[in-house]
Amino acid sequence: MEIKTIRKDRLQNMEHLNFAEHVLIMNKEANIDKIKPLLPPLEKAIKDEEEALNQPTKLEGTRELIALDEERDRAYRAMQFMLNS
């Protein structure tokens, strides 16, 4: 096995996540006793990074906010109409 030089600081977000997952898999397969205590914190860090990268695009309550925005807009237009009359 030949180890190539890698610049971790040049990895994009998902590339870094994939690299970290690959390192985790390799270390689990290597089954080295000295590395075993370090794997749970690495797994947690990978999980946290994955959650940060895969955030939902919509928040809960979006439908309710849209409905409230429409109601506010109707009330504002009604007020403008009354003032212009």
pLDDT in tens, 23-61: 999 999 999 999 999 999 999 999 999 998 887 777 777
Residue 63 pLDDT level (bands cut at 50, 70, 90): confident
Burial label, 21 (beta-carbon count in 10 A; 0-12, 13-18, 19+)? middle
Give CA–CA dist 49/45, Å, rounded. Answer: 6
Sequence ranges of the domains in the chain: 8-84
